[in-house]
A and B are shown apart, each in its own frame.
Chain A
Amino acid sequence: MFWTNTKRILRSGFVSFFRNGFVSLAAVLVMTITLFAIGSLLFSGALLEKSLNELKDKVDVNVYFLTTAPEDDILAFKTVLEGLPEVKEVTYTSREEALVIFRARHEDDQLTLQALDELDENPLGASLSIKAKETSQYEGIANFLEGDDALSIVETPIIEKVNFFQNKAAIDKLTEIISSSEQSNLLKTILLIIVSILITFNTIRLAIYDSREEIKLMKLVGASNWYVQGPFIVTGIMYGVISAVVALALFYPVTLWFGPVFYPFNFFSTIESTSLLIYYSNNFSEIFIAVFGTGIVLGALSSYLAVKKYLKV
């Protein structure tokens, strides 16, 4: 009996989706817009995060050492820095590497290169480039570098300068921008999702309001609650599935055409990461699950709640 009923409910929900063609079309349209909005928020959230991460990645603190500093001391210093909880990574640039980089950077500038050749020895000191896990942590690292703890690692001072203090204003500003844009993005996402869910819920409620007399009658004929609700929930799920397919299909042309335009910081990054389409195809399974899941849950739950109201007969 269970299977017979399940089969009947599925068939009834399916048939009523097509018989109420116009209502179904309206519900699918509204739900497509909702799912599209939710999907777009996923995209813009991911893009913002990616852009911010790239920006964060540009930030580091460099410690320049005296030319006389022994390499062992610098490496010991590096080990200590790597032990700090705030530090993500420390890159060591030796004096020779610094020279190679300097030459490469000034390869068109013969004057500078000639001046460099005039010198007997390499004028550049070694350096450590430190990346923190969060931009807000740079100040702490810089203070550590300036403080007594850092100096006590080796006997003679070896640090020439720490460039954090020149860049402090810029780093502070960036920290502020990042945290505020992360917060506002989260807030906008939540708000938009709530609004679109309410709109979808209301549309389905109106569609079912139209059937309130039928629901009452079904109850009077002796149908159990779930036998009445079942077909409506099936129809709701169909709204969700079809809307999800439409929304996912729409993302293709949209990400292809508008990808570079939507990307706010695309001058920072490489060609690959500017393409929204590539982000879409790389993360298709997550986006698919999110959009499909939202559609199905939203359709089923809205129908369930809307019918429930008329079942008290």
Chain B
Amino acid sequence: MIYFDRVSKVYKDDSIALDDVSLSIEPKEFISIVGHSGAGKTTLLRMLLVEDRPSSGSVFFESTDIHQLSKFELTNFRRRIGTVFQDFRLLPRKTAFENIAFAMEVAGRSDEEIESDVPHVLNLVDLGDKMWNFPHELSGGEKQRVAIARAIVNQPDVVIADEPTGMLDPINTYDIVQILKKINELGTTVILTTHNKGVIDSLGKRVVTLDRGRVIRDDKRGRYVL
């Protein structure tokens, strides 16, 4: 489904973020990417979102080279991916409801669908009562749940979670991981990056370990080994 083909990324100051990475991700897989800070985890995800372009190599999504997409195709492609960030990245001047509605609006969904789906997905992440709160009125865990709700509301093929628990306490971390697991069980590919050993060990899913821009381990039922 997703295939990184010998992807390298060298920044202008000659620092190497990714070094000849090849990686294949199957549909409905739950894959965790681990590594020290600066190992290249976030860079890898940025390549998949086309936030950044590789210095060499290609990234394929269902046999399409996503870095060759036109502007219009890229916009459509991004609607098939839900993204959760460590720093939540909610729209600060929109309520929880509007943040999720925005993702549906850009996907061209009707007002009726938005009216019915947004409360549904907010209830799913247990935030039905905070629908009209602005992000600054929510706790970290609540913000991240809004972000997850936004990521899944359009039923994407892939959910990318870039250190989603990095700023959360253990209880919220557990909740978020349970939600991600549930999303995966419902048939969505999940790509997770994290530093949290406990999270990885409890998942018992595929783990790819990066070190200085290279894949050093790829375990089917992996543990956090560094």
Question: Which residues of A line the B interface, CB within 8 A?
Answer: 1, 4-5, 8, 16, 19-20, 213-214, 217-225, 227, 313
Contacts and interface: CB of A to CB of B under 8 A. Distances in A.
Contact of B103 (A19, A219, A222, A225): A222
Nearest to B52: A313
A221 B75 CA distance: 8
A4 B111 contact: yes
Interface stretch (B88-96, B124-132, B175-183, B218-226): B88-96
Given A221-B78, A221-B150, A214 B92 contact: yes
B196 interface: no
Main secondary structure of the interface of A (DSSP, over half): helix
B102 A221 contact: yes
Contacts, number: 47
Contacts of B110: 4
A29 to B, nearest CB: 20
A221 B49 CA distance: 10
Interface in B52-104: 71-72, 75-79, 83, 89, 91-93, 102-103
- 10 nearest interchain CB pairs? A222-B79, A222-B78, A223-B106, A19-B93, A217-B89, A221-B103, A222-B106, A224-B75, A214-B91, A8-B105
B216 interface: no
A224 B83 contact: no
B106 to A, nearest CB: 4
Contacts of B72: 224
Contact of B91 (A4, A217, A222): A217
Contact of B75 (A5, A16, A20, A223): A223
Nearest to B51: A313
B89 A213 contact: yes
Nearest to B83: A220
Interface of B: 49, 51, 71-72, 75-79, 83, 89, 91-93, 102-103, 105-108, 110-111, 150
Contacts of A220: 49, 51, 78, 83
Nearest to B104: A221
Nearest to B90: A217
A217 B93 CA distance: 13
B108 A218 contact: no
Contacts of A214: 91-93
Contacts of B79: 221-222
Contacts of B93: 16, 19-20, 214
Most chain A CB within a 10 A radius of its CB, from B72, B76, B93, B111: B93
Nearest to A8: B105
A121 B109 CA distance: 100
Nearest to B110: A4
Nearest to B49: A220
A1 B106 contact: no
A221 B77 CA distance: 10
13 contacts: A4-B110, A8-B105, A19-B93, A213-B89, A214-B91, A214-B93, A218-B91, A220-B51, A221-B79, A222-B76, A222-B78, A222-B103, A222-B106
Contacts of A217: 89, 91
A219 B106 CA distance: 10
B144 to A, nearest CB: 15
Nearest to B103: A221
